[in-house]
Each structure stands twice: as C-alpha cells, then as structure tokens.
Amino acid sequence: MKLNEGVSVIEAVLFAHGDPIESEKLCAAAGIEEDTLEKLIALLSDRYESTSSALKIIKLGDCYQLVTRSDYSEYIRAAMETKKNTPLSPAAMEVLTIVAYNQPVTKGFIEHIRGIDSSSVVNSLVEKDLLEEAGRLDVPGRPLAYKTTSTFLRCFQLSSIDDLPPLPGSESQVSFDEILIADNDAENTEADDIAEDT
C-alpha cells in the first residue's frame, strides 16, 4: 500500500466509524502495523493542519477519532438545529470528579464521599455517555462499578485519564481556621478605617 493510499484509508475508516476506534481495530481494518498507523495518523494530522481544515484527529486513550474543531461548533449546531447543551450541575461535576479520580467505583462509594443519595446523578451521567458500567466488583453483593468514557475524555479535552490535573495536597488547601482569621483581619481593618475617618 502506497503512503497516500494509506492516509486515505485511515481517513475513510475514521470518518465512516464516527466514534472513537481502537488502534488495533484501525490497524486490522487497514491491514497495517501499529508503527505504520502512527506515521499515517501524523501525516493526516499534518495535512489537516497545513490546509486549515475544520477536521482534526484526537487520541483518546488507545483510540483515535476524527472530529471537527471547536471553532466551528456554533455553525454545526445551527445546521443541525440542536438545542444548546445545558451545563452540568454542581452535583454532576462532583460525581464525575469522584469517579474520574477513583475509578472504577460503586454508587455506594460515591454516596459515601458525597454524603447523599447519588443514584439519579449517576444514571443521568450514564445517559449522557460520560459514565459507563465497568463490571461488578468482587466483593459481597457484587455491586456495579462505574468509570468514565471516551466521551468524558473528549468533553474535557483529555487524551487519557492520566492527563487529569493532580489533586491538591493538604498543604495547598485553605483550612477553616485560616478563613476565620482572614475574615477577622478584614473586619478589624475595616473598623480601623472607620475609626480613622471619624
């Protein structure tokens, strides 16, 4: 297979597949080796970049996907007449954070961390394809576990879950006592200013 033909084959498969496709499946479909795939993906990405194409290839874990650049999202929405996506609620963001940093986790684990029933939030995130079932844990009751999806990675512009920013350590967090001290200092400063004005 010639180089240009290989690039076209990869482009055709990515376009037709739509969803993220594992590199192994992509190699099998194109009849190529893994190292050849990486070269062809790089050539195709360069082609899109050099022509200022609205398309680009993203890597999600061990998968590749052909997507449009975010610069064109409003035009695509207008053409498809889709409603504006509603932002995720604070509760949904909390659940996503818990799952992303601890996956796979059960609903019970999420509820233990949040201190509140989270079934409806988890179910909603599964419907939005941001979370998915990750099998059952080998513990009594064999509860279902959940993990993030490739849609989650794409929405948060991550190549893999390893790209998540590190959680802040205890030394970089503000304690409740520090907040009280800061509030008292601010009140004392304000009182001193008033006293000086009078």
pLDDT digits (tens, 9 = 90+) for 146-197: 999 988 988 888 888 888 888 776 565 555 566 566 556 655 555 455 555 5
pTM (2 decimals)? 0.52
User: Is 20 a member of any domain?
Assistant: yes
Are 53 and 123 members of one domain? no
Domain count across the chain: 2
Cβ contacts of 69 within 8 Å, gap of 6 or more: 54, 55, 56
Domain containing 28: what range? 3-73
User: Is 188 a member of any domain?
Assistant: no
**Could you give the CA distance from residue 122 to residue 187 in angstroms, rounded to a whole number?**
42
Are 112 and 68 members of one domain? no
Are 104 and 162 members of one domain? yes
CATH number at residue 7: 1.10.10.10
Are 150 and 100 members of one domain? yes
User: Is 192 a member of any domain?
Assistant: no
